[in-house]
């Protein structure tokens, strides 16, 4: 085994052990299922909404970092996760890295800020990214 293969194997092993320790919800599955259920034309309003446009501004100015969190909230079943999934799909298709988490009272592993933090850490570890600084956009559903 070459040194490069050993390094890759070690990173994969570390990712697996961290994921086992973190025990995150499967946000990838939740995201995909919600995006697949989206009806044509649903969520189109968000692309011209001033709050979204301000959040989606690609400025990397450190002073605007506090505005990089988009929190979608509303009553149960109103489409928050579908909206977040739609936004996430658009951002990913434009080459952005996105961390996704949807809170849910129905799922014990998606109820707390600890659950969200574990999920975000797991998503970061699963990304195959170089060892350079991150420029993530965070999105959460309450």
Selection from 9-18, 116-125, 133-142 with the highest mean pLDDT: 116-125
How confident is the model over 32-57, as pLDDT tens digits?
A: 777 777 788 888 999 999 888 888 87
CA end-to-end distance (rounded Å), the chain: 47
Q: Is the pLDDT of residue 131 over 50?
A: no
Mapping DSSP to helix (H, G, I), strand (E, B) and coil, where does residue 92 land? helix
């Amino acid at each position: 085994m070459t040194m490069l293969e050993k390094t890759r194997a070690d990173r994969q092993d570390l990712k697996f052990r961290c994921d086992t320790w973190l025990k995150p919800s499967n946000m990838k599955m939740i995201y995909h299922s919600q995006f697949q259920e989206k009806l044509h034309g649903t969520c189109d309003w968000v692309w011209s909404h001033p709050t979204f446009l301000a959040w989606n501004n690609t400025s990397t100015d450190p002073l605007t970092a506090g505005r990089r969190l988009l929190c979608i909230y509303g009553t149960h079943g109103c489409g928050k996760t579908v909206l977040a999934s739609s936004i996430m799909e658009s951002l990913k298709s434009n080459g952005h890295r996105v961390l996704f988490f949807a809170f849910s009272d129905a799922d014990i592993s998606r109820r707390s800020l600890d659950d969200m933090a574990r999920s975000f850490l797991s998503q970061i570890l699963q990304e195959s990214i170089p060892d350079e600084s991150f420029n993530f956009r965070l999105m959460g559903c309450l």
